[in-house]
Amino acid sequence: MDAHSKPPPARHIAIIGAGISGLAAACRLRELLPDSAVTVFESSARPGGVLRTVRRDGFLIETSADSFITSFPWALRLCDRLGLADKIIPTDAAHRRAFVVRRGRLLPIPDGLMIMAPSRLGPLVRSAILSPWGKLRMAAEAFVPRGSGNDESLASFVRRRFGREAFERLIQPLVGGMYTGDPERLSVLATMPRFVEMEQQHGSLIRAMRSKNRPGAEANQGSGARYGLFVGLTDGMSELVDAICRSLPPGTIRCDCPVSDLTRDGQGRWGMRIANASEPAWFDRVVVAASAPHTQRLLSTIDSELAESFRQVPTNSSAIASLGYRREQIEHPLDGFGFVVPSAERLPILSGSFSSVKFPGRAPAGHALVRVFLGGATRPDLLERSDESLMRLAHEELSRLIGIQGEPVLSMLSRWSQAMPQYQIGHLQWLETVRSRLASLPGLELAGNAYEGIGVPQCVHSGEMAAERIAAS
């Protein structure tokens, strides 16, 4: 820019939704367009979306995600830019394993199993989770022909490669615990593309894992849920939310401000009706970083066909029961990070997480904090129950599984309605359709967990990419 040129006019940018995607978008816009005015509208009373940390009676309770994976760099990079690098803590290396329920008992998930790809057959052979036939069928995966590489359900992919028993007893609970979804409907290309790539490149997931473990190959990290790749924050995930909020100018985030009736005028500006405002507010650019159902409602006045397509991304509801106990109340040694429950066990809970084992500072000395996950695609009926009923159910199931005597010293229930999108078969094609339709709506961007990943890093990346597209425009 020479001395006689004028700077471009400041833009007013609206972000709808102050979850981690919307906050990441606001933070990135602040970095890229410091002279623009950014306003984040949040319908609830606080920013952060599902990310929330609660301190109660000496316990540190996460109401949703308690960590994020580092194999995707975006959350780590954001923490670094926000000055949180020294707040990042790893999971406890002494207990990096998990259990699966088999006939009411907690059995260790075999070492070296990376969700659905075993890097070592020895631990699998010695495990009591599968029958001798189930182990033989799983080992025979190396001789199963390569698939077409086309989209199919997670359940179909796993059964085709490893057999029905391995799916039902081992892999379904691991996948179900991650997505609270139904693997019969989830797209393998949208949720686990890495394993399809392994099949296509090596013809077998077992051969692919052996190739990774050869001398000079990249080291295999962890097993099961790859706990060695996960990190948390010293004072909980709210630290990330609070740091982003501090980095933004005062007044950027407006809570208790639901938005409706998104419109566009002939000059390309975007209007929206904000609660309690008599007139629509107008903006040069808009990022919709809301849930899939809310996004569908907002888009219905702009592009009915695009809005209707969001029915291809159904959402699940879930609840998390956080329960605190005195350590002597629990018989189980708690020598792992938690457990998953196969649907074949016909139990009313999805999984459990030993929060105070994973990270320090989650429970007072001499106590333990356990989180129990309920609902999802397999048991949506449970969420019709009262909070008290769900807390009682979670406590009773824990008592049977890990041997608890007496009542909890702390109880807290978190409900999340329609918060988990389901990437069903055809999700990637739907995503291409969304991108194509958005090309005809310049100045509008979408971000959130409904598109290219449900984890914290993917949501951060989604928000930042939306911000970068706006800056480039």
How many residues comprise the chain? 473
Cα distances from 276 to residues 39, 257, 258, 269, in angstroms, run: 17, 8, 9, 21
Residue showing tokens 């890229």: 32
DSSP letter string over 137-172? Answer: HHHGGGGSPP------BHHHHHHHHH-HHHIIIIIH
Distance CA 283, CA 12 (A): 5
Provide the b/e sequence for 305-344 (b: ≥16 CB within 10 Å): ebbebbebbbbbbbbbbbbbbeeebbebebebbbbbbbbe
Strand, helix or coil at 319?
A: strand
Q: Provide CB contacts within 8 A for 304, sequence distance 6+.
A: none
**Do residues 139 and 127 lie in contact, with contact meaning Cβ atoms separated by under 8 Å?**
no
Amino acid at 78: L
For tokens 């070296």, the residue is 112
Torsion on CA atoms 215, 221, 222, 223, rounded to nearest 10: -70
Confidence at residue 219, expressed as pLDDT on a 0 to 100 scale: 40
pTM above 0.85, yes or no: yes
pLDDT tens track, the chain, 473 positions = 444 444 445 689 999 999 999 999 999 999 999 999 999 999 999 999 999 999 999 999 999 999 999 999 999 999 999 999 999 999 999 999 999 999 999 999 998 888 888 888 888 889 999 999 999 999 999 999 999 999 999 999 999 999 999 999 999 998 877 888 899 999 999 999 999 999 999 999 999 988 876 544 444 444 445 678 899 999 999 999 999 999 999 999 999 999 988 999 988 899 999 988 888 899 999 999 999 999 999 999 999 999 999 999 999 999 999 999 999 999 999 999 999 999 999 999 999 999 999 999 999 999 999 999 999 988 999 999 999 999 999 999 999 999 999 999 999 999 999 999 999 999 999 999 999 999 999 999 999 999 999 999 999 999 999 999 999 98
Write down all domains in the chain, each with its CATH number in brackets. 12-49+236-313+424-472 (3.50.50.60), 67-76+84-94+315-421 (3.90.660.20), 112-219 (1.10.3110.10)
Q: What is the pLDDT of residue 5?
A: 45
**How far is C-alpha 296 from the geometric centre of its chain's CA atoms?**
20
- Asked if 407 and 349 count as a contact pair (C-beta separation under 8 A), the reply is no
